[in-house]
Amino acid sequence: MPERRTVALVTLGCARNEVDSEELAGRLAADGWELVEDASDADVAVVNTCGFVEAAKKDSVDALLEANDLKDHGRTQAVVAVGCMAERYGKDLAEALPEADGVLGFDDYADISDRLQTILSGGVHASHTPRDRRKLLPLSPVERQQATDVALPGHGEVAPAPEDLPEGVAPESGPRAPLRRRLGTSPVASVKLASGCDRRCSFCAIPSFRGSFISRRPSDVLGETRWLAEQGVKEIMLVSENNTSYGKDLGDIRLLETLLPELAAVDGIERVRVSYLQPAEMRPALIDVLTSTPKVAPYFDLSFQHSAPGVLRAMRRFGDTERFLELLETIRGKAPQAGVRSNFIVGFPGETEADFAELERFISAARLDAVGVFGYSDEEGTEAVGYDGKLDADVIAERLEHMSRIADELTAQRAEERLGETLEVLVESVDDEDGAVGRAAHQAPETDGQVVFTSGEGLEPGRMVVAKVVGTDGVDLVAEYCEVLGAGSRTPDEEAGR
């Protein structure tokens, strides 16, 4: 009998990282590893790190150190770093953090089982020297689809899959359709739509370590969605660095408009959500599909970042307050209940008091459902590092505190505007401690608040129900449910058998 090998995956960062972890889990399960939830029960703890901003990098280091502590009083024998931070810093991270027994980049993902076995056996796998991954793929987007020899997290593996897959592992359905194993039982799952980014925002380092933009083929996205539905998933969230660019390397920039209705028609899927949309790339036809297609959430995760024209130009982005407000007016003209969220950077080099006031004017008028505000910090390898006009740290902190307070007040007001609305809510959890909790169409996982039910009686995870908003708590909504969708319009009393 083969020796029992156990592995735990600890995931930090965004939904794209969560998909990467499930794909690593699929490969490991296919190669005979036993997946365990608690790192203290694992021979190897694999920490999927985030390398986006300083706070995320600190969290990643803390997670690695915490996992390393398990080696002194648990089963854990090795701690391995993967993910964006490992890819971005490679051997430099390995030297700075000797507590990690291995630092693996994206090129190691296809052979993750062998890499972990080598490390677990006391061997050493040399960490890679970081390189600009934008240079690994052809400049022409269309030519990138033929570059199957480049590791693209979320798109596929170079190594072939075993013929006999364990139960619960999704099979490869094409050259860029990876194995996948779910790491939880949530009725919501993310699906990678594309990887990388061709935009050159002056503050962002992601393209340098995620690479150039490349779409997954629609057949692979559909195949993975069908498999997820078979696993009990009710909502899928399409993720990438820029979903509005989907299809440009496949010869059809409007491919997302075609794909969304097909995904919504997959048996068992109740909701399809699209994340990360670029305001400058929004198309009328895409807005129409997002606001009118049954089971497609009228949800707009728009990356505004700022609204003062001078700051946006310095960021190498486009738009201004009036154009952004016109976009929101168009969206809400088609779907008044549409959800809109965005992130903003304050204290960008050269941001004047007038620029800051302009951003506040926009946020005050935009009626956003969720807002993330971040203070600018230099990210090595980005153009903005060399900019003049850097603001003092205390000025950035003051602006961050002010805008965060404004954002909290405005999003709470926006939630109050929904009092009395009837919403379709996906129930995500029901327990004695937290009661019944779910999310409406305007609420994405982790970032946008939730719906708390006044009673959990008759509810169960994975149910899509109609609920009426009767209260608010910040961005969260309090609701009482009226009927279960697709169940003959049952009332709560009927659902409970009374």
What is the tens place of the pLDDT at every residue in 337-360? Answer: 999 999 999 999 999 999 999 999
Judged against a pLDDT cut of 70, whether residue 162 lies above it is answered with no
| Rounded-to-integer distance, Cα 102 and Cα 123, Å | 10
H-run or E-run covering 398: helix 393-417
Q: How much is the average pLDDT of 479-488?
A: 75
Q: Which residue has the higher pLDDT, 96 or 272?
A: 272
Name the phi and psi angles at 77, rounded to 5.
-110, -20
| Rounded-to-integer distance, Cα 121 and Cα 189, Å | 34
Q: Quote the mean pLDDT of the chain.
A: 88
Structure tokens at 261: 């209705």
SS3 203: coil
Does residue 201 have a known ligand-binding role? yes
Does residue 50 have a known ligand-binding role? yes
SS3 239: strand
| Rounded-to-integer distance, Cα 364 and Cα 177, Å | 43
Q: How much is the average pLDDT of 472-489?
A: 81
| Rounded-to-integer distance, Cα 448 and Cα 103, Å | 33
What is the tens place of the pLDDT at every residue in 406-443? Answer: 999 999 999 999 999 999 999 999 988 778 999 999 99
Q: How confident is the model at residue 173 (pLDDT cuts 50, 70, 90)?
A: very low
- Provide CB contacts within 8 A for 235, sequence distance 6+: 187, 188, 189, 269, 270, 271, 272, 273, 426
| Rounded-to-integer distance, Cα 354 and Cα 334, Å | 33
What is the tens place of the pLDDT at every residue in 204-263? Answer: 988 888 888 999 999 989 999 999 999 999 999 999 999 999 999 999 999 999 999 999
The answer, as to whether pTM is greater than 0.85, is: yes
Does residue 84 have a known ligand-binding role? yes
Structure tokens at 279: 């305001």
